[in-house]
Structure 1
Amino acid sequence: MDWDYPHPFTLPRVPEAADIDGLNHTNNAVYVRWCEQAGWAHSEALGLSLDDYRRLDRAMAIRRGEYDYLLPTFADEALVLGTWLVAGDGKLAMGRRFQLVRERDGATVLRGRWDLVCIELSSGRPRRMPREFLDAYMTVVVDAQAAS
């Protein structure tokens, strides 16, 4: 597949009947849900779960999310969702990118981006990333300027 960045964390996705809207294609909200699932799966693969977030009283919260819906997808269509961490400052912020690709022809059907900020769960206020976040996340940050 022609990924925007090298070495994506990937999840296969297939729209089910419940994902299809009145226009007979995958509802846009489904893509947002899939991106959230991919973000959590990637975080867990890197060694940080929701339980770790609670234990550390820290979380990477979405400050801004943008999605470009490029092509429709349909029920039972095989798709692959890739995600990367980008632009980490090693303090408070980092970004996450998404690319959803249709398996049969390699077409990119969606691109998404999140701007993330580290918060203290107990107060909701921005706080520096703890060492555990830096060790897990910053080692896999890719150069956002490397997009093809």
Structure 2
Amino acid sequence: MQEPRLKWDHSQPFTMKFNVMAEHIDFIGHVNNAVYVAWCQQAGWQHSLTLGLGLDEYRSLDAAMVIRRANYDYILSAYTDEECIMGTWLTNNDHKLTMERHFQLLRLSDGKTLLRGHWQLVCIRMSNGKPRRMPAEFDSGYGAAVIPSG
């Protein structure tokens, strides 16, 4: 079967595929909402790694981007053996303390959007958890990946 043309909310997403397994299904019979959230976390972290900002860099810089606020719109359900693809984008970076990340989960068989998510992120000092200005490495790595959110 040929995959449908995928209609992303923004251009050039970082993408990660997920296969729905039996353990993702809840008592209602569809993928549990917490699984969608975990997929967002996995895709967001993989995107960060491709930008050269992983745990080693976070530790050496004593800095981390953490979720301050998360919003998810659960649009449609996914079921066992379906293939899904998560797209994620950085859509804002104030080059000081905060940035934003968006998510869109599509079902590959029909291209339908299952979930949209939005995170507000803040930079903290890992050693004490307090907000701090983004290190230059964060500003250049994450800042270069920001796409217009329109």
- Which of 50, 70, 85 aligns to 2:75? It is 70
In structure 2, what residue type is equivalent to 1:79?
C
- Which of 27, 31, 36 aligns to 1:31? It is 36
Task: Note the 1:11-90 alignment, pairs <5 A.
Answer: 11-90=16-95
CA distance in structure 2 between the partners assigned to 1:41 and 1:87 by the alignment? 18
Aligned to 1:137: 142
Per-residue deviation at 1:68?
A: 0.3
1:7 equivalent in alignment to 2:12? yes
Structure 1: segments with no counterpart, 5+ residues: none
Q: Classify the secondary structure of the residue corresponding to 1:4.
A: coil
Task: Quote the sequence identity (%).
Answer: 54
Aligned to 1:96: 101
TM-score after normalising by structure 2: 0.95
Per-residue deviation at 1:27?
A: 0.3
Per-residue deviation at 1:81?
A: 0.2
In structure 1, what residue type is equivalent to 2:65?
M
CA distance in structure 2 between the partners assigned to 1:32 and 1:51 by the alignment? 24
Q: How many residues align?
A: 145
Per-residue deviation at 1:51?
A: 1.3
Segments of 4+ moved more than 6 angstroms? none
